[in-house]
Structure 1
Amino acid sequence: MSRLTVLGAGAWGTALAVRLAERNRVTLWARDPTRAKAIASARRNERYLPGISLPEAVVVTADPAEAIAGAEAVLVVIPTQHLRAVAERFAALWPSGMPVVICAKGIEAGTLRLPSEILDAVLPGAPLAVLTGPSFAHEVARGLPAALVLACPDEAVRADLRQRLAIDRIRLYGSPDVIGAQLGGAAKNVIAIAAGVVEGGGFGENARAALITRGLAELARLILAEGGRAETASGLAGLGDLILTCTGAASRNHSLGVALGRGEPLDAILAARRGVTEGVATAPALVARARMRGIELPIAEAVADLLAGRASPSDLAERLLGRPPRDE
């Protein structure tokens, strides 16, 4: 039995804490002391994961020192745009050599950094891994089967973490490709917004299938340009997560795209939501990062323009279908 800590008490953080507590002692950290107290008292996180009870093995706290005291590994489940600020709160407390498992997806606005690049700067020397793949929190929390990827360049650390993070009915694959795994998690949210726009705008299933396929091609080009592996794009961190996010009704990014496709304003959509829709901040950052590598991302560019008010849903479809003909 290991001692694990989950930083972030949103839906995914809570789901991971619930399942990991089947074999481990788990501390779940929430940024807001009031929320931490409410979750600890009710033994539920009704705001983000209703109907799921926390096992006795889960301790809930808002105290950073208490959260990581005695931990053997820490899972960071913080939205990417807040990741740096949270990591800085823990930096002085971080035990030497304690591994970090990144469960955030996205690219930091402004710096254009991936989560691993943020944490490498704030927590230098800490072994880094990435847990990603197609996984809706409510299904994982209920014990439904899934398959995920644990990416870590250090084979020994990867093997140790795979053992510590073993969960019944979840197949955990290993990979050395930390960069590719994170790019898959970032890009799929942006492409899912486009897929939702296609659906909400009534452009048909043919158009959505074409968009998802071409989105995968964009992702593969970017992963290779960043030094990642081609297999990552076609695996769970790429294609698998892309399919789920572009088609699953519980996807926040897909549902946001559907609402945009129906003509709803972005500000109103976001104001009505509790959880973070990562693709909104990620779209322009993904485009900017790709341009630094000389890579064209037509779908991501169209989504960034739509979110910035420079294009309409119909413009998005016309721009993608009206591109110059070429061989696939």
Structure 2
Amino acid sequence: MTMRSILKSWVERYFSDEEALILLVVLVAGFAAIIWFGRMLAPFFTALVLAFLLQGVVSALTRRRVPHLLAVIMVFLAFVSVLLTLAFILMPLIWNQLVGLVQETPRMFASGQGWLDQLQERFPNIVTPDQMQSWIGVAGREISQLGQRALTLSLTSLGNVMSLIIYLVLVPILVFFMLKDREALVGFTLSLLPQKRTLLTRIWHEMDRQIANYIRGKSIEIVIVGTVAYITFAFFGLPYTALLAVLVGFSVLVPYIGAAVATIPVAAVAGFHFGISEQFVYVLVAYGVLQALDGNVLAPVLFSETNNIHPVSIIVAVLFFGGIWGFWGVFFAIPLATLLKALVYAWPRGLEGRQTSQVPPLKQD
């Protein structure tokens, strides 16, 4: 069997149907628009995600016989209240704590260096003095570069004030109209597609359920984990509680890797503040219990309707989509992996199912 015949057979199986070609064009156009125009249309995509997240609340209110416009107004006012709280209360607090942590980093580094020297004296056979000095030199250069980057970021961020104002004004307006005119916007989008879209409809319904469950569940998980982390760190009197709590909350976006990465700043701040003491151990144990409860109780409850994806697939998806789209790529890594999984299973099987259904049944004697 020649390569040409193999390629022809593959094309006939997957792309002989008109709907399969339309699905391919839609996917390519969507990914191309995000890759090439993602930065330009970032407020639109942000508003689209937020509207998708809030639509569940609007639908829940309308099912309770609340008029659609009133439900949209109620949800929108709650959304604006949360947005203003984040913009004018939480973000300045986090920024001030970040600046304080950067300024405190040299002292933390000096304290860690002294602890490492003591460790090397107690266990000279584990690490040689030359290796210790090499590691200390590398860490010192990295910390110095981190301080310079933080200073540069604080100076360049002054020029992004207009962008922040655009987001604070434009995104809420887009969210409101997306919620208010959802049916009209969806109807217009469907009018651009051909009438025959059985495969598209099947995949869309599956992904709508998956993405809605993931976005809402992940948002709830971030809030719960971040809030519990803040209460835990505040109970132990740990400094930079808001900054660390936000970091721990957003660490759930990256399964397996996020929890490990967030452990480093938590352990560093706790070790610098309490030293190697019982209080330091208590903080790490409490943080470990929080991560264990999140991974074994909270996440399974929130994502019970999400398709199971192998951990290797999740990590690859996070690395790939995060490298392409940054934060949003990490946020949507699991839904995008679910989309690819749904396409792999639904595309050939969907086509074969339609072709089988079109075969007339055999007459029975």
TM-score for both structures, normalised by structure 2: 0.26
More helix per residue: 2
**Higher alpha-carbon Rg:** 2
TM-score for both structures, normalised by structure 1: 0.28
More strand per residue: 1
Relative contact order (C-alpha < 8 Å, sep 6+): which is higher? 2
